[in-house]
Structure 1
Amino acid sequence: MIPIHTHTATEYDQLRGDIYALLASLLRSAPTQDALAWLQALQPDGDDNPDMLKAWSALALTAQHSKTEAVAQEYQDLFIGVGRGELMPFGCWYLTGSLMERPLVTLREDLKHLGYERQKEVYEPEDHIAALCEVLSLMVSQDHSYSHQYRFLQRHLFPWAFAFFTDLQTANNAYFYAPVGLLAHTFFQQEKTYFQQLSPAQLNTDNKNDRRELA
C-alpha cells in the first residue's frame, strides 16, 4: 500500500491536490521569485515514501542553486523557443505526433461533462500538461469521486504523461526542470499505484459534486 502515515484520507487528498496545483503552476510558467524561494526552503517530510522524498529533495536542492532569471530562460527554451521549444507539452503531440487531433476533441467532451471550460485568457489547447494537472487539482479539491479522478487520469494523462516527464528529465535545456520532471513522474506513478489499490467500492462511490458520468 502507498504509505499515508499520519495523514487522514482527507489530508492525503488535500496533499494530492496541492501537488497537482504545484505541478500545474511550474509547468504553466517559470516560477516567480517568491515561488522559487519557497522551493529553496522546502524541507521534505521524512514520512513520505522514499521515491517521493528523493524527488522533493532533488527539487529543493536544485532550486537552491537556481536564479529566477535563469529559470525563466530555461522555461522559454524548453517550452516556447523560437517557433517551438525543445519539448511539446501537449497530449495530442505525444499520442499522434500532431496538435489539435482527436484526443483533444475527446478531452474537451469530458471537460464539458465535468463542468470545466477553458478560460478566455488562456490560449493553449486544453491538452497542455499544466492544464491537465490543474484539472486534477480542481477535481480533488472539489471532491469529485475517485472513479472520475481515476478515469480522467487513465484517459488523458497516463497514456502519455510518463513519456513527457521522462523527456523533461533528460532534455538538453533542463536544469531546474529536470527534478520537476522527476517529481512529476514519481508522483504520477504513486497516483497510479494508489488508485489500483483502492477497493471497487471506493472507486465506484458516487459523489454529489460530480457532474455527468464520463462515457
Structure 2
Amino acid sequence: MTDGPSEPSAHDVAATATAPVRAALDSVDQFRVQHYGLLAVLMAREPSAETLALVAGLSGDATPLGRSHAALADAARRADPARLEREYFDLFIGVGRGELVPYGSYYLTGFLREKPLARLRQDLARLGIERSRSLVELEDHVGVLCETMAGLIDGRFEAPEGAARDFFARHMQPWMGRFFADLETARSADFYRCVGRVGRSFMTIETESQALVA
C-alpha cells in the first residue's frame, strides 16, 4: 500500500505492487477493475469536484447495474462538494463513530481489529502486499479492500493464479454486499445512497460470477 498523492486516483488507496500492470486485460477484467477502482475512490474520502465530474460521465443501460450507474451520474451532477464532505463525515466518521462502520472485522464480529483483520493481514503478507506508511485506515476498510482487488486483477500485485478469487471469497463476499445494502438505506445518505446501489449491484455480479467459476 504505497504512498499516493493527496487526491486519490483509482489506484492510490491500496498497496505496494511487486509486478507491472498487465499489458492487456480482457473486457470482463477491465470491467471489474474499473468498478473496484470507482468504489475505492468514492469510499476513500468524500469526492472532489474533479471526481464528481468524472462520475457524472457514467452511462447507464437497462440492467440493474446500468440503472445504478445512471442514478449515480445524476447524483454527481447535482452534488455539492461542501455538503458531500458533511455527508461523508456523518456516514463514516461521526462524533465517536459514523452511522456505518466500513470495516470487515466490524461487520463480521461487531468489533474492530478482530480475527478477520488478522486473517486479512496474514493473507496480504503471503501475497507480498505491504501497508503504506501514509494509510490511516485499517486494511479491512471497504475502500482499501476494493483497491487491493483491483490490483490483484490488473496485475499490479504479483500473485498466483486464482488469488483474486480467493481474496474475494475470504475477505469481501462474507460482508461487503451487506455493507453496500446498508449504505443504500442509511439515513445520512444522499449521494452515497447511489454509491451503495452501485456497490450492491456490482457485488451481486461478482458473487454470482465467483459461484459459476467454483
Deviation of 1:11 after TM superposition, in Å, equals 2.1
1:192 aligned onto 2:187: no
1:17 aligned onto 2:33: yes
1:178 aligned onto 2:193: yes
Q: Which amino acid aligns with 2:100?
A: L
The aligned residue for residue 15 of structure 2 is: none
Give me the whole-angstrom Cα distance separating, in 2, the residues matched to 1:123 and 1:37: 26
**Most deviating of 71-80 and 49-58:** 49-58
The aligned residue for residue 85 of structure 2 is: 72
The aligned residue for residue 42 of structure 1 is: 58
Give runs of aligned pairs for residues 65-104 of structure 1, distance below 5 A: 65-104=78-117
Q: Which amino acid aligns with 1:91?
A: G
Give me the whole-angstrom Cα distance separating, in 2, the residues matched to 1:36 and 1:145: 35
Q: Is the 8 A contact 2:40 2:143 kept in 1?
A: yes
Aligned-partner SS, 2:125? helix
Q: Which amino acid aligns with 1:177?
A: Y
Give me the whole-angstrom Cα distance separating, in 1, the residues matched to 2:56 and 2:160: 34
Q: 2:68 aligns with which of 22, 38, 55?
A: 55
Q: 2:118 aligns with which of 105, 111, 117?
A: 105
Deviation of 1:195 after TM superposition, in Å, equals 2.2
* Alignment RMSD: 1.7
Q: Which amino acid aligns with 2:28?
A: Y
The aligned residue for residue 166 of structure 1 is: 181
Aligned-partner SS, 2:112? coil
Q: How many residues align?
A: 189
Deviation of 1:43 after TM superposition, in Å, equals 2.2
Structure 1 pair 141/94, CA: closer, same or farther in 2 (3 Å)?
Answer: same
Give me the whole-angstrom Cα distance separating, in 1, the residues matched to 2:161 and 2:169: 12
Deviation of 1:146 after TM superposition, in Å, equals 5.9
Unaligned runs of 5+ in 2: 1-23
Q: Is the 8 A contact 2:59 2:66 kept in 1?
A: no
Deviation of 1:178 after TM superposition, in Å, equals 0.5
Structure 1 pair 146/51, CA: closer, same or farther in 2 (3 Å)?
Answer: farther
Q: Is the 8 A contact 2:25 2:154 kept in 1?
A: no
Structure 1 pair 145/19, CA: closer, same or farther in 2 (3 Å)?
Answer: farther
Cα deviation code 1:24-57 (max 9, x no counterpart): 010010111111011223223x4xx711111101
**Most deviating of 17-26 and 49-58:** 49-58
Max Rg structure: 1
Give me the whole-angstrom Cα distance separating, in 2, the residues matched to 1:146 and 1:62: 38
